[in-house]
Amino acid sequence: MVVFRVARHVLTDRLRDTIDPLRGRLTRYQVNSILDGAQAEFERLARGLPDEPTAGSRLCVRLAALHRGLVGAARRRALLQFQVSRPKR
């Protein structure tokens, strides 16, 4: 999908957190990991989408599925980073 190709280009090297710039920038590996997960989730969700009567409503439903996939992938990626980098007690 064009959306993921553009997102890879735009997100690589962007700040992770605009409030705390010391957190660093997104690497190509991190962006690819998030977007690969998002694309897999979108494809899974897209198979179960209902048929909508108009092009506009189909677009809205597909955008919602894309958003859900992106948010889920980003959350899973953040959770994995937290688990890996959390200090042991």
pLDDT digits (tens, 9 = 90+) for 18-66: 777 777 787 888 888 888 989 999 999 989 888 889 999 999 999 999 9
Structure tokens at 24: 């660093």
At position 31, the amino acid (one-letter code) is V
Q: What is the mean pLDDT of residues 79-89?
A: 52
Cα 55 to Cα 59: distance, rounded to the nearest angstrom? 6
Q: How many domains does the chain have?
A: 1
Q: What is the pLDDT of residue 79?
A: 59
Decide if 39 contacts 5 (C-beta within 8 A). Answer: no
Say whether pLDDT at 77 is over 90: no
Expressed as residue numbers, the domain containing 67 is 2-85
Q: What is the pLDDT of residue 84?
A: 45
Decide if 3 contacts 66 (C-beta within 8 A). Answer: yes
